Amino acid sequence: MSVQIPYIDEPHPVTGVTNAKLGVWLFLASEVMLFGALFSALITLRLGVNDWPHGYDILNVPLATLNTVVLIFSSVTVVMAWASLKMQNLSRFRTYMVLTILCSFIFLAVKAVEYGHKFEHGISPATSNFYAIYFVITGLHGLHIIGGIIVNAYLLGPGSRMWKTQPERFTGRIECAGLYWHFVDLVWIFLFPILYLL
Amino acid sequence: MTHAEHTHSGHHEMPFWRKYIFSIDHKVIGLQYGITATFFLLFGFFLMILMRWQLAYPGVEIPFIGKALTETGALTPDLYNALGAMHGTIMIFLGVVPMAVGAFGNYLVPLQVGAQDMAFPKLNMMSYWVYFVGGVVMMSSFLMPGGAAASGWTSYPPLSVTANNAQTVWLLAMVFLITSSLLGSINTIVTAVQLRAKGLSFMRWPVHVWAQVATAFLLLLAFPPLEGAAVLQLVDRVFGSSFFLPSGLYIDGAKASVAGGGNPLLWQHLFWFLAHPEVYVLILPAVGVISEIISTNSRKPIYGYKTMVYSILFLGFMSFVVWAHHMFMTGMGVTLSSFFQATTMIISIPSVIILTTLLLTLWGASIRFTVPMLFALAFLPMFAIGGLTGLPLGLTASDIHLHDTYYVIGHFHYVVAPGTLFALMGGVYFWYPKITGRQMNQFLGKLHFWLSFVAINFVFMPMFLMGSKGVSRRLYDQTGYSHGAATQSWNVIMSTAAFVLLLAQIPFLYNMFTSWKWGKKVENDNPWEATTLEWAASSPPPHENFPTPVEVYREPYSYSPTSRKVRPQFSQQEA
């Protein structure tokens, strides 16, 4: 007899979620604390000095606005990818997943252009605490985007073989990946006004 | 025995490395955690023995190994600092937490909820190996030029930011350890909540499961801010930012060339936001273990099970809002100090309730003085001393005098060493028959207990007196001060006791290893006549724990002090 783990593809009758979904929610709770700590650090640093610069004076607001739109769009496509699976349509799932990943790459490209401009002017984390916290928070967010790309690409490619054998479980995985992607999007929604607009 | 044969025949043989090295079986992973943590606990203890030699005999060559460490054979001040920082780091992050959460949580939580394994077995394997890598990285900092990280386990800036490169290694190792805890805590919560056996409602969880779940939430939510802080300090060190470096910073009389504008207190806030809940991470699993031992060996239900559970949850919640009581002396202001003083007094209430319920469980009980019970009974006054001596530290006025003295060291070591570590040792004696199918030797166990109990009090009790006299906790040689010289003779007593304590662990280790093969075999799967689900499994449990699913019929701890009748959770009979 081998080990049987229940509630992998069906929700637990009491909690109403699968193991993976509960796990992802817990993971996101810890992520909230991680970014929460960094935002708190930003607030503390900002309140501690008189000459904190305004983001809109020294950062590229139009590019960041473009990135905001791109990320929100990708949040829609990742939901559509999941909905397509719910409607048993694997090819449409693939289309939406490709769009999601494409958006992630556009976001990273735009971010690279922004970073490039700063580096050209010799700006680094050592320049000032504003730039330091800017690079740390956007850099960490960028790493989360890359993580999302890896997960989504896996689920689009080799991971999608699971669809044939365990469609319920595969749909659950897409939902979990989607939850994570929404979180990454949500971090940007907070990050954009706090760093760029205030 | 028929159990073991039956399950063995149903297994296909796995190669050695799959079964014992890269195992996904929660029991093997639990033992891996246990063995690794034991190594680190002994190593951290050994570092302290070196330091205690220096404290007792300042500047005297360390016998036998001194010449191998330094040119003169005595500790240098720098090496003393490094050993102090590494002792704290190793004991907490590589020793006690992996033992309490990694080993006990991993091994027992799935068994106690009647699950076949953790919810995510591969994630479980990964969390152990990430911890292992973190440990190796942390150890490797000893090989750095200039020695290991020496900024204390708290790594306060600006000292830590301007320290040598071993500090960077320390930060990287911490990122590994934090990631490992994160994966483990998610796994524990999901397992305990989702994989409960039929009939096991939340209020039928053993106290140990409650304690582990509360601990997992603390690790889950308190560790990420330290991860964030570690990243900020890493950026400070590697990319030259000034998150924690204020403007106008002078180092060695020269103005430091940093951008400035940073805030050293920011690190302390972020650090203690983790490190205060961490204190409860250290103590809650111990409370869980002690509850199981006391209830079983006193043949009584826990006095006020629900009160106990709510106290654990309240304690967990409150532990997030007391962190700045470590910072009364930093000049953060009276308003903040008053707030944190108030919350600190509030958090002592659930702690006292927990202790009281355990104490009242003994009232009218039919106590069996087994070795685990001896450790559990010692835990109660030791934890009480540790907890009550914390109150003067939590009050801002008395903290002015006691802050950063040996009093503080005595206080938290009473909680962690004769508190948590005694509980975990008791736990080893208690669950050993389940893990191996054999009992540990009772005589060696009692020898281990009494020697440790006496020695450990001689180590830590004088610290309260020494601290009251104002001796700072960070002195390399206290004889340079008149109040230090006056109490120097106590250092000799404490150091001797510490060495006896080290020797006292030899019977324990010998017992643990030899009983595995030669210990007395247990007659059945439930040698202590206990009630919780792990005793329904065979000893040792097969890979899938319960070949046929277990069902739960009642609350835990249905003992009777007046008769030998036990009603385990898994037995249907109402007898």
pLDDT at B8 (0 to 100):
42
Q: Do B240 and A45 touch (CB under 8 A)?
A: no
CATH of the domain at A129: 1.20.120.80
pLDDT at B7 (0 to 100):
41
- Asked, for residue A2, whether it belongs to a domain, the answer is no
pLDDT at B10 (0 to 100):
44
Q: What is the mean pLDDT of residues B33-56?
A: 97
Q: Which residues of B touch A133 (CB under 8 A)?
A: 243
Report the alpha-carbon angle A187-A27-B201, nearest 5: 135
Structural domain count, chain A: 1
pLDDT at B566 (0 to 100):
86
Q: Closest residue of A to B543, CA-based?
A: A3
Q: What are phi and psi of B248, to 5 degrees?
A: 70, 35
Using one digit for the tens of pLDDT, what is the confidence trace for B250-266? 988 888 888 888 999 99
Q: Name the DSSP class of B15.
A: P
pLDDT at B574 (0 to 100):
62
pLDDT at A1 (0 to 100):
54
* pLDDT above 60 for A194: yes
pLDDT at B1 (0 to 100):
34
Nearest by CB to residue B116, choosing from A3, A31, A132, is A3
Instruction: Name the interface residues of A facing B (CB cutoff 8 Å).
Output: 1-7, 12, 15, 19, 22-23, 26-27, 29-31, 33-38, 40-41, 44-45, 48-49, 124-129, 132-133, 135-136, 140
Q: Do A133 and B243 touch (CB under 8 A)?
A: yes
Tokens matching residue B337: 């100090």
Work out the pLDDT band at A100, boundaries 50, 70, 90. Answer: very high
Q: What are phi and psi of B521, to 5 degrees?
A: -70, 145
* pLDDT above 80 for B9: no
DSSP letter string, A112-173: HHHHHHHHHTT--TTT-HHHHHHHHHHHHHHHHHHHHHHHHHHHHTGGGGHHHH-HHHHHHH
Q: Do B229 and A49 touch (CB under 8 A)?
A: no
- Asked, for residue A160, whether it belongs to a domain, the answer is yes
Q: Name the DSSP class of B511.
A: H
* pLDDT above 80 for B158: yes
Q: What is the mean pLDDT of residues B88-117?
A: 96
The CA distance from A6 to the nearest CA of chain B, in Å, is 7
Q: Do B120 and A19 touch (CB under 8 A)?
A: yes
* pLDDT above 80 for B3: no
Using one digit for the tens of pLDDT, what is the confidence trace for B126-140? 999 999 999 999 999
Q: Name the DSSP class of B250.
A: E
Separation of alpha carbons B363 and B95, rounded Å:
34
pLDDT at B12 (0 to 100):
59
The CA distance from B508 to the nearest CA of chain A, in Å, is 34
Using one digit for the tens of pLDDT, what is the confidence trace for B521-573? 999 999 999 999 999 999 999 999 999 999 999 999 999 888 878 889 998 87
Q: Map residue B147 onto helix, strand or coil.
A: coil
- Asked, for residue A14, whether it belongs to a domain, the answer is no
Work out the pLDDT band at B181, boundaries 50, 70, 90. Answer: very high
ipTM of the complex: 0.95
Q: Do A133 and B273 touch (CB under 8 A)?
A: no
* pLDDT above 80 for A58: yes
Best residue in A14, A18, A19 for a mutation probing chain B (most B CBs within 10 Å)? A19
Q: Closest residue of B to A7, CA-based?
A: B194
Instruction: Yes or no: say if B170 and B178 are a contact pair by the CB < 8 Å rule.
Output: no
DSSP letter string, B195-219: SPPBT--GGGS-HHHHHHHHHHHHH
Q: Do A23 and B231 touch (CB under 8 A)?
A: no
Q: What is the mean pLDDT of residues B284-308?
A: 96
Using one digit for the tens of pLDDT, what is the confidence trace for A14-56? 999 999 999 999 999 999 999 999 999 999 999 988 889 999 9
Q: Closest residue of B to A136, CA-based?
A: B232
- Asked, for residue A101, whether it belongs to a domain, the answer is yes
Q: Closest residue of B to A22, CA-based?
A: B190
- Asked, for residue A166, whether it belongs to a domain, the answer is yes
| Residue ranges of E strands in B495-569 | 520-521
Q: What is the mean pLDDT of residues B90-106?
A: 97
* pLDDT above 60 for B5: no
Q: What is the mean pLDDT of residues A145-169?
A: 96
Q: Do B239 and A124 touch (CB under 8 A)?
A: yes
Q: What is the mean pLDDT of chain B?
A: 93
Q: Which residues of B touch A49 (CB under 8 A)?
A: 261
Q: β-strand B438-439 against B520-521: which pairing, if any?
A: antiparallel
Q: Which residues of A touch B117 (CB under 8 A)?
A: 3, 5
Q: How many residues does the structure list for chain B? A: 575
Widest pairwise Cα distance in chain B? 80
Upstream peptide bond of A6 is cis (omega within 30 degrees of 0): no
| H or E element at residue B558 | none
Tokens matching residue A150: 């890896």
Best residue in B196, B226, B241, B244 for a mutation probing chain A (most A CBs within 10 Å)? B241
Q: Do B261 and A44 touch (CB under 8 A)?
A: no
Question: In one letter, which amino acid is B474?
Answer: R
Per the structure, the complete domain to which residue A173 belongs is given by 19-49+61-197
% of chain B beyond a pLDDT of 90: 88
Q: Do B266 and A41 touch (CB under 8 A)?
A: yes
* pLDDT above 70 for B290: yes
Q: What is the mean pLDDT of residues B171-192?
A: 96
* pLDDT above 50 for B149: yes
Nearest by CB to residue B270, choosing from A26, A41, A48, is A41
Q: Do A129 and B261 touch (CB under 8 A)?
A: yes
Work out the pLDDT band at B358, boundaries 50, 70, 90. Answer: very high
The CA distance from A95 to the nearest CA of chain B, in Å, is 30
Q: Which residues of B touch A127 (CB under 8 A)?
A: 259
pLDDT at B312 (0 to 100):
97
Q: What is the mean pLDDT of residues A132-142?
A: 97
Q: Which residues of B touch A36 (CB under 8 A)?
A: 224-225
Q: Do A126 and B266 touch (CB under 8 A)?
A: no
Whether CATH 1.10.340.30 fits B28-245+261-536: no
Best residue in A129, A131, A191 for a mutation probing chain B (most B CBs within 10 Å)? A129
- Asked, for residue A127, whether it belongs to a domain, the answer is yes
What is the C-alpha end-to-end distance of chain A, expressed in Å? 61
Domain ranges of chain B: 28-245+261-536
Contacts of B423 (CB under 8 A, 6+ apart): B285, B286, B287, B289, B290, B375, B376, B379
